[in-house]
Structures are given as structure tokens and as C-alpha cells.
Amino acid sequence: MAKKGFLFVLLFVALINSAWAYDFYAVCSTGQTLYYNITDANNHYVEVTCPGINNWTGYTKPTGNLAIPSSVNHSGITYSVKAVGAYAFYECENLTGLTFPNTIISIGRSAFDNVGVTSVSFPSSLLSIGGLAFNGSSVTSVSFPNSLTKMGEWVFNATPWYLNQPDGLIYAGPVVYAYKGEMPPNSSISIPSGTKGIAGRAFHNCPNMTSISFPNTLQSIGIWAFYACTGLTNITIPTSVSSIGAGAFYQCGNLSSFSFNAQNCDIDNDGYSYGYYVFDGCYSLSTLTIGNSVQTIPDYLFYGCNNLSGTLFLPSSLRYIGWGAFYNCSGFTGSLTNPSQME
């Protein structure tokens, strides 16, 4: 009986702990109760989160004008507020005003989905915005900082801000947000210098795009950025790219050659598991070139590219080949000799 009682207590504690998804809460200067997760205990960093599991069920949603603080005290420790987490204010439809501190570096997926905020001015510290962050919200005007380098998919989907944009290439500060409308046949796109990111689904289903060139200022390519761009036949990734989204070239069925020059790059899934690799559905991809300054080939980058052929030359700069990077790439001939300085 004692053992059963002990197990019951453990189960009860587990159920209680799963009822919320925060470490502590505090009232901010504008009167709303905000909930926080400690993301870095050593550096005293926190993110704003929602009290439930991705929702506010059973809790009082913030309303009116909200000023997110730059820091918050808890148990005698002052924490810096570095992020707004995924779903932090999901469906807080009566939240009408929003002020960010200059400590915020990231905003998570669906963080302000369906809020009543009409105007947003992002802080100069902001680096990334997750997919659907303001989906369905009332936003009509946005001010983007030059610090922004990464955006997920459909951040402003169905908002007045997006609906009022003219057809063509839409920018969100230094990030290409989307191509709106139907692209003319045989379009060749040149992304100008100074551009730092390509948002998720930016060129979603643009089969009329036959070529695209990237500047050496580009740092990120979002998830499904070139979904079903069947007119593309070759892509060159510049040295500056540090992040490529999962499924970035999904179903680019006529993509035949790829030149990878990114020095150090990771694969990003925007906080959501899509289950698609970068080149899923690229059945014509047969030629791969690895640039002379590449130091890292990220995990699963060329996973399943079984039509790649020829001899693959790895540069002397290479330090790391990720897990499954060339899984099932059975078409290569010759031997792959790893540089002596590989980690």
C-alpha cells in the first residue's frame, strides 16, 4: 500500500506540474500579469510565455496596452527579458497595444496570433520572428529594425498590413517577406545587397521563377521558402548564409544543380517539426558543388538526394560533416577523402 501511495503522489505531482508551462509570474508596469520561463539560469535570461500549454485556458488574458519589461525580479534575482516565446499571447484578442523593450532578440511562433494590436514597432535588438507570429491579428502598420535577420512562414498572414501590400516583392525591413500575386513567366529574381533574410514561404509556389541570385549579405533562408518553385534549375548559396530552413527547396522538381558555399550553416525548423528535409521532392538534383571556404555541412542537408552523381570533392576548409548529411546519396562515384583537420 505504501508503494502504491508513493506512486500516486508522483503521478499527482506530475499532473500538477503539467498544468502550466512557466517558471514564475509577475505583474508588469501596465498592470497585466505576465508569465516567464528561465531560458538561461547562468546569465539570468527569461522569455515571456503563456501560462498553459500553448494557450491561456483557465487564465486571465492580458488586455489593453501592454509594455513588456526589459527585466523582471524573482526570488532576489533580476532577469533580463530576452524573448517572447511561442504562443505567448496566442488569441489574446483584446490586447490592443504593444511596446517591446530593447532587450528582446526573438519572438516565437504564433506569439501574437489573433491579437487586437494594430501598430507594431519592433526593437532595434530583434533578430528573429517565428512563423505565424501575428497571424490573423489586426496589425495595419509595422516598423522593422535593420537588426532583423530571420523570419518564419506567414508571420503576418491575413493581417491588414499584408492585405494592403501591392503585388510583387514585399520586404519586412532587411528580410524578403513574400512575393505577392502571380509572378510573370520566366522571371529572374535578383535579391539586392543588404538583404539579410528570406522569410519562410517567401516564394511559396512560384513556378514562373526560373532563376534567383542571392547577395553576400544574406544570412538566412526560411522554411519552405521556395516550396514548389518548379522553374528553378540551379541555386547558389553564398558564404554568408548561416541558416537554411527545413523544406526550403521542397518539391523543386527541376532543380538539377546546387552550389553550397555557406561557411557555417545550420538547418532550422522554426520551432516546428515538419518532417521534410531541405531537398525533399527534388528528384532532378544531380550536381553538387561544395565551396572552397565551407567549414560545416549541417545535419541531414543532402539527406535522400539519391540522384546526385559524379565525384564529390570536399574542400580543405571543411571541419565538420553533420549526422546524415549525405544519407542515401548513393550516386556518387569515387572515394570521399576527409581533410586531416576534420573534427
Domain annotation covers residue 34: yes
95/177 same-domain check: no
Q: In angstroms, rounded to a whole number, what is the distance separating the alpha carbons of residues 2 and 215?
A: 68
Question: Is the confidence at residue 332, as pLDDT, over 90?
Answer: no
Give the distance from CA 105 to its chain's centroid. 13
Domain holding 155, by residue range, is 19-164
**pLDDT tens for each residue of 158-181:** 999 999 999 999 999 999 999 999
Q: What does pTM read for this prediction?
A: 0.91
Q: In angstroms, rounded to a whole number, what is the distance separating the alpha carbons of residues 28 and 66?
A: 8
pLDDT of residue 337: 55
Cell matching residue 141: 502598420
Q: In angstroms, rounded to a whole number, what is the distance separating the alpha carbons of residues 277 and 246?
A: 5
Q: Which residues contact 168 (CB under 8 A, 6 or more apart)?
A: 179, 180, 181
For residue 74, the domain's CATH number is: 3.80.10.10
172/145 same-domain check: no
The total of other beta-carbon atoms located within 10 Å of residue 211's CB is 14
**pLDDT tens for each residue of 16-51:** 444 568 999 999 999 999 999 999 999 999 999 999
| Residues present in the chain in total | 343
Q: How many domains does the chain have?
A: 2
Q: Element (H or E) spanning 129, and its range?
A: strand 128-129
Average pLDDT of span 82-87: 97
Domain annotation covers residue 131: yes
Return the percentage of the chain with pLDDT > 90, whole number.
83
Query: In terms of Cα–Cα distance, which of 179, 182, 135, 195 is closest to 161?
Result: 135
155/186 same-domain check: no
The total of other beta-carbon atoms located within 10 Å of residue 288's CB is 22
pLDDT of residue 338: 57
Cβ proximity of 221 and 198 under 8 Å = yes
203/338 same-domain check: yes
153/180 same-domain check: no
Domain annotation covers residue 47: yes
Cell matching residue 252: 523543386
* Separation of first and last alpha carbons in the chain: 54
**pLDDT tens for each residue of 250-279:** 999 999 999 999 999 999 988 766 667 899
Question: Is the confidence at residue 69, as pLDDT, over 90?
Answer: yes
Q: Which residues contact 156 (CB under 8 A, 6 or more apart)?
A: 134, 135, 137, 139, 142, 162, 172, 177
Average pLDDT over the chain, rounded to whole?
91
Cell matching residue 229: 518553385
Q: In angstroms, rounded to a whole number, what is the distance separating the alpha carbons of residues 203 and 169?
A: 9
Cβ proximity of 105 and 125 under 8 Å = yes
Cβ proximity of 127 and 149 under 8 Å = yes
